[in-house]
Amino acid sequence: VVVASVLIRSLSVSDIIMERVEQYLSRKKKAAKGEEADLYQKLEQFYSKKLWFELANEVKKIVYGPPPDLDLKEFYDSFISDFEHRINLLQLAEIIIPIANYIFTKDREAAFAFLDKMGRTVKKDVQAKIRVDVGQIKLRLDNKDKNERCIDIDTVRGLIETTRKEIDDKVHGVQSVHVAFYKVSSVYFKEIGDYASYYREALRYLGVEDLTTLTTEEKHVHAVLLGFAALLGENIYNLGELLAHPILNVLENTAEVWIKHVLDAFNEGNINKFNTYEKEWSEWDDLKRRKSALMNKMRLLALMELALQRTSKNRQLSFSEVAKACQVEPDKVEHLVMRALSKKLIRGSIDQVNGEVLISWVQPRVLNEDQLRGVARRIEEWTKDVSGMEDLVAANARDILTKA
């Protein structure tokens, strides 16, 4: 009797919840018109037939593009919360992200608390928990004071570090959580002004993101920010990867197309080309203030390019050659080369007595078409040298055999 009583009460609670959900959907359907009413009708059908997979897919579409008058918090409380335990946890995590964003616009602390609760709900699934944590990072980054400074930057730093470790240790292959994480972590590095880390993280994000899902405006913003980060980032000397990325194509026929040309100039170590666009880049305060740093980076790249253009047996450069190519005074050449050596951009030695630099190795980079043609030309020359050596060895061998 006791067991039966418990079952009856349990069934009663289940029936009450189901009735409450059906009343909510019915009320929304009656208040809606046209396609929106059909939407609620479809939700009713999936829910009543317990088609949880189909229901989850439909709900995800709705939360990412909700009708104008839909209260997503109420939508979760009155509907989603009833069947959330019946659907894939990663899908549930994806569903609740826009809901948390909606709550954030009304009550920031409530949004953080909501994500904390959902993190506990999905914790059995590693990727689902990571997705919720990434949502938390995104909202913490959006939580700014009246001066547009991030209030929770220390919390964000900790979340970034722990989430990255979780991804590296437990997520194999490229998954949707990588896209979400690299996106928010690049925003974090932009927020703290770490150009180099932003550059690397933004390229990772664009490497896993489906670019067709981005608007032209979003692509334009990414291209501009990446261009600036490449120029200003400390120890960023390999620009070929960015120049080969289709994201830069969005700059064509815009006022910011000069960024692409300046990046080309840096990649080629072409100081004159860089100076040609000074009027354009000097209009941006971040670049204008760092003119000296930009020139120092440009000179290092010019030195690398000068060495790259030579064959391996012809990399003995005079101080005057380096001074001319890198546009520095002869007495500054030694310091320039020492900086390149210390940054491991080149390997070699300095002959102070004869005023020469011997470069034995140049740091590998992603090369553009002109640079690749130069490499091909040098390989061809090397092949001819090898063939000539073979002929010489063969001729000498005949002489030795004849004498023998």
Angle at 135 between CA 130 and CA 136, to 5 degrees: 95
Question: In the listed set 53, 72, 87, which residue is the last one of a domain according to the structure?
Answer: 87
Residue 334 Cα distances to 281, 310, 322, angstroms: 29, 19, 10
pLDDT of residue 254: 96
Q: Residue 401 pLDDT more than 60?
A: no
Q: Residue 84 — left, alpha, or beta (φ > 0 → left; ψ -120 to 50 → alpha)? A: alpha
CATH code, domain carrying 344: 1.10.10.10
Identify the residue with better confidence: 321 or 378: 321
Q: Residue 25 pLDDT more than 80?
A: yes
Percentage of residues of the chain with pLDDT beyond 70: 87
In a domain, 356, yes or no: yes
Euclidean distance between the first and final Cα of the chain, in Å? 115
In a domain, 275, yes or no: no
Non-local CB neighbours of 312 within 8 Å, separated by 6+ positions: 360, 382
Q: Kindly state the average pLDDT of the residues 132-142.
A: 98
Neighbours of 404 (CB within 10 A): 5
Percentage of residues of the chain with pLDDT beyond 90: 81
Q: Which residues are 358's β-sheet partners?
A: 316, 349
Number of domain units in the chain: 2
Rounded Cα–Cα distance for residues 326 and 299 (Å): 5
Question: In the listed set 64, 87, 110, which residue is the last one of a domain according to the structure?
Answer: 87
pLDDT of residue 385: 61
Per the structure, the complete domain to which residue 328 belongs is given by 311-403
Q: Residue 9 pLDDT more than 90?
A: no
> Of the given ranges (11-25, 75-89, 228-242), which has the lowest mean pLDDT?
11-25
Rounded Cα–Cα distance for residues 401 and 326 (Å): 53
**369-379 tens-digit pLDDT:** 665 565 556 56
Q: Kindly state the average pLDDT of the residues 316-321.
A: 95
**230-274 tens-digit pLDDT:** 999 999 999 999 999 999 999 999 999 999 999 999 999 999 999
Average pLDDT, the chain: 91
**99-128 tens-digit pLDDT:** 999 999 999 999 999 999 999 999 999 999
Question: In the listed set 63, 87, 111, which residue is the last one of a domain according to the structure?
Answer: 87
| DSSP structure class, residue 79 | I
For residue 74, give both structure tokens: 């109420």
Q: Kindly state the average pLDDT of the residues 53-59.
A: 97
The whole model's pTM is what? Answer: 0.86
Q: Residue 193 pLDDT more than 90?
A: yes
139, containing H or E segment: helix 126-142
Confidence of residue 310 (pLDDT cuts 50, 70, 90): confident
pLDDT of residue 313: 74
Rounded Cα–Cα distance for residues 151 and 115 (Å): 18
In a domain, 350, yes or no: yes
In a domain, 250, yes or no: no
Long-range CB contact pairs, 51-58, < 8 A, 24+: 52/83, 52/86, 52/87, 53/87, 55/83, 55/87, 56/87, 56/88, 56/91, 56/92, 56/95
In a domain, 58, yes or no: yes
In a domain, 95, yes or no: no
In a domain, 78, yes or no: yes
**347-397 tens-digit pLDDT:** 999 999 999 999 999 998 776 666 556 555 656 665 666 666 666 666 666
Residue 47 Cα distances to 44, 60, 114, 326, angstroms: 5, 14, 24, 70
In a domain, 267, yes or no: no
Confidence of residue 314 (pLDDT cuts 50, 70, 90): confident
